[in-house]
Amino acid sequence: MDDIAGPIKHFHGGTRSHTAGPWTVGPEDWLISQSSGMGYRNFPVRAPEGFDVAMVYCDEDDDEQVANARLITAAPDLLEACELLLIYLGDWNDMEDETCAAARRAIAKARGQEVPNG
C-alpha cells in the first residue's frame, strides 16, 4: 500500500476531506421507535478508530439496506481505485474514454464538486 501513497497524494494534493478508511459495517443493532413501538435494525458504518461514519436503518428483512451499508463501507476504497485508474490510464493513454469520464464523475461526486458531463 505504501507504494501507491505517492501517486494518490500527488493526485489530490495530499489532503482528504473524508474520514480515512477502511470503513467496516459494525455489529447489527436494534432500535425501538418510541413513537410507533416498531423495531428497526441499524448497521453502523465505522471508521478504523471505531466511531460511526454513517448509520443505515432498515426494517426487519430489508436486504437492500444491508447492501447499501456494505456499499457505503467501500466508498473510500472506490474513490482511491478511481484515482489510481486515472493515474494509470494517464500514463499511457492521452485520449479521454468513457472509463476515464466515469471515474472523473465518481471522484467529483465523492468530493462534493460539480460533476462533469459525459
This prediction has a pTM of 0.70
68-114 tens-digit pLDDT:
888 999 999 999 999 998 888 776 666 667 888 888 889 988 888 88
pLDDT in tens, 11-68: 444 556 778 888 988 877 777 767 777 777 888 898 889 888 888 887 766 788 888 8
User: Which triple of cell numbers denotes residue 93?
Assistant: 493513454
Residue 35, number of CB atoms within 10 A of its CB:
5
For the chain, what percent of residues have pLDDT higher than 90?
A: 10
Angstrom distance (rounded) from CA 105 to CA 3:
25
Would you kindly state where each structural domain of the chain is located, as residue ranges? Answer: 1-21+74-118, 24-73
**In whole angstroms, what is the distance from residue 42 CA to residue 56 CA?**
5
